[in-house]
Copies of this chain bind each other. A is one copy, B any other.
Amino acid sequence: MSRVAQAGDRVLLIDRRHKRHIVTLEPGRTFHTDRGVIPHDALIGHPYGRQVHTHLGEPFTVLQPSIADLAKAVRRTTQIVYPKDSGYILMRLNVHAGARIIEGGTGSGSLTMVLAHGVMPTGHVYTYERRPEMSALAARNLAKVGLDRYVTLHVRDIADGFVEEDVDAVFLDVREPWLYLEQAQRALTGGGFFGALVPTTNQVSALLAAMQAGPWYDVDVVELLLRRYKPNPERLRPEDRMVAHTAFLIFARYVKMSVGADSAPAP
């Protein structure tokens, strides 16, 4: 038995040249390609994981998109977070069903989508963006994949602070994250997870310098490199070129260093 595509589903169609198309199924509509068309009704009610053909005989593979597929396919005007980075962010921020997470810098909503996918159905993502049109774009991107119900989009300058309190994690994807450490700290639960993403070493230095003053513990700076191989068993070798850099990731835990009487117990 296989799962069956339904009206409203986001569907991944991959053509012979491995180009990926993501469409939302609607009865009566048609998917147009330069090699023929496929009526949505030829997909709705039929199982995933098979090939269909356009009226010109061109094959397309029909799949449910992964969250990595969806996050890469958002309509965007900003740099997105790559799966190699967002997967690691999920691990380091301890994202799980039920978690409450603040994101500073919604952008096109690509990472927002990954976080929402990670906290659903019982958690929530609170994301902040100063630019109304950018927030609106992210809202549309989230709605398309049905994850908008797990996200609150704030159009607000994070310099004015976050609205939520006692959240499990704060992630900053903004140009000058060092300006908002105090806001992050006020929003976080004790021991909460902090993360930030910046592209340049100068920004890493500026953020680290600012964190030294504050209640940030177990500070960790990393970058991830993903190397892809040509899947040829007789001639296995890495691809010729790769993405050499997306961003540096900085993680820390929020720890109140002031120590009360109860914390130096007699045995």
Which residues of chain A have a CB within 8 Å of any CB of chain B?
1-3, 14, 18, 30, 36-39, 41-42, 46-55, 57, 59, 61-64, 66-68, 83-84, 86-94, 96-98, 114, 117-118, 120-122, 165-166, 189-193, 199-202, 204-209, 212, 217-245, 248, 250, 253-257, 259, 262-267
Question: Is there contact, CB below 8 Å, between A241 and B238?
Answer: no
Contact, CB under 8 Å: A206 / B231: no
Q: How many copies of this protein are present in the complex?
A: 4
A4 to B26, CA, bound (A): 48
Whole-angstrom CA separation of A103 from B152 in the bound complex: 34
A229: B residues at CB distance < 8 A: 204, 221-223, 248
Hey, which chain B residues are within 8 Å of A212, CB to CB?
233
Query: Is the CB–CB distance between B3 and A42 below 8 Å?
Result: no
Are A244 and B241 in touch, CB under 8 angstroms? yes
The closest CB in chain B to the CB of A243 belongs to B241
Contact B91 A86 (CB under 8 A): yes
Chain B residues, Cβ within 8 Å of A191: 2-3, 47-50, 62-64
Selected A-B contacts with CB under 8 Å, 13 pairs: A36-B267, A52-B263, A55-B265, A61-B217, A61-B218, A66-B94, A83-B91, A118-B118, A200-B235, A201-B201, A205-B233, A220-B228, A222-B227
Contact between B245 and A238, CB atoms less than 8 A apart:
yes
Instruction: Evaluate whether A55 and B232 lie within 8 angstroms (CB atoms) in the complex, with A121-B97, A191-B2 already known.
Output: no
Chain B residue with Cβ nearest A256: B50
Chain B residues positioned under 8 Å from A36 (CB to CB) = 267
Q: Are B50 and A263 in contact (CB under 8 A)?
A: yes
CA distance A200 to B208 in the complex (A): 15
- Contact: B236 with A205, CB < 8 Å? yes
Contact A222 B233 (CB under 8 A): no
- CB of A121 to closest CB in B, whole Å: 6
Contacting residue for A208 out of B97, B120, B232, CB 8 A: B232
Which residues of chain B come closer than 8 Å to A189, judged between CB atoms? 1-3, 48-49
Additional pairs, 11, CB under 8 Å, beyond known A53-B265, A204-B236:
A18-B218, A49-B191, A50-B255, A54-B267, A55-B267, A67-B96, A97-B97, A199-B235, A207-B233, A221-B229, A222-B229
Most chain B Cβ neighbours within 10 Å, of A117, A224, A240, A263: A263
